[in-house]
């Protein structure tokens, strides 16, 4: 059985969301968001930086949420969530799948650091404003793409598991302005999916 090492409100939610969408059996190991929980010798043996998610599949152990999503879709079950290479949707699927970590998550990570993780006396307002501006710029192409689509490539796909989760978290951080109305609607659609609700509610 697949085993997922998980911390709430992290990229590990993407993995749970996908497994729920595909109806795969899995076990969740919920780790505390503490130095003892994530930086233990046992967990560092799974992930050298002591982070989540980590997926174990028999003798295979793999980390990085995007790699895990791709691994599961290729090896276990697809359900049409990854277009065939011959499909006209395949290039756009790849684009949005990787746009998440390439463009959206770097400024989001900085926002989380500056508003949540750092103590108030160590926060830098200039760094925060720069990250917020960059995130807004990164979200604009997504909003434009979604103006005539329900999901990123038209139908729900693995790209939505990656980038949709990031859009949801950006909205929750208050970083999706009203002018990004297509993303606002997209987040609402995602939020009604039972598999997504299961992943977000897991603590």
Is residue 84 one of the residues assigned to a domain?
no
Q: Do 9 and 70 fall within a single domain?
A: yes
Show the domain range for 189: 90-199
Contact 138, 110 (CB under 8 A): no
Kindly report the pTM of this predicted structure.
0.96
Which H or E run contains 146?
A: helix 125-146
pLDDT at 36: 85
Q: Do 74 and 121 fall within a single domain?
A: no
Query: Using CA atoms in the order 47, 52, 53, 58, what is the torsion angle rounded to 10 degrees?
Result: 40
Is residue 85 one of the residues assigned to a domain?
no
Question: Over the stretch 100-141, which tens digit does the pLDDT of each residue have?
Answer: 999 999 999 999 999 999 999 999 999 999 999 999 999 999
How many independent structural domains does the chain possess?
Answer: 2
* Mean pLDDT of the 18-38 span: 94
Q: Do 120 and 55 fall within a single domain?
A: no
Strand partners, 63: 54
Question: Over the stretch 126-184, which tens digit does the pLDDT of each residue have?
Answer: 999 999 999 999 999 999 999 999 999 999 999 999 999 999 999 999 999 999 999 99
Q: Do 166 and 70 fall within a single domain?
A: no
Q: Do 69 and 97 fall within a single domain?
A: no
């Amino acid at each position: 059985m697949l085993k997922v090492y998980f911390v709430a409100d992290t990229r590990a939610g993407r993995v749970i969301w996908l497994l729920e969408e595909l109806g795969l059996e899995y076990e969740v190991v919920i780790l505390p968001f503490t130095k003892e929980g994530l930086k233990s010798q046992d967990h560092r043996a799974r992930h050298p930086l002591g982070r989540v998610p980590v997926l174990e599949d028999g003798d295979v152990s793999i980390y990085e949420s995007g790699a895990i999503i791709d691994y599961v879709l290729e090896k276990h079950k697809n359900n049409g969530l990854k277009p065939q290479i011959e499909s006209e949707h395949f290039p756009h699927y790849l684009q949005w799948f990787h746009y998440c970590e390439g463009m959206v998550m770097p400024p989001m990570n900085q926002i989380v650091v500056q508003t949540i993780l750092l103590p108030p006396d160590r926060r830098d307002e200039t760094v925060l404003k720069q990250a917020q501006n960059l995130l807004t710029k990164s979200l604009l192409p997504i909003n434009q793409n979604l103006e005539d689509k329900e999901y990123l490539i038209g139908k729900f796909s693995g790209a939505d598991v990656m980038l949709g989760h990031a859009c949801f978290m950006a909205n929750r951080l208050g970083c999706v302005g009203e002018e990004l109305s297509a993303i606002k609607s997209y987040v609402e659609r995602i939020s009604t999916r039972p598999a997504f609700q299961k992943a977000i509610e897991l603590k």
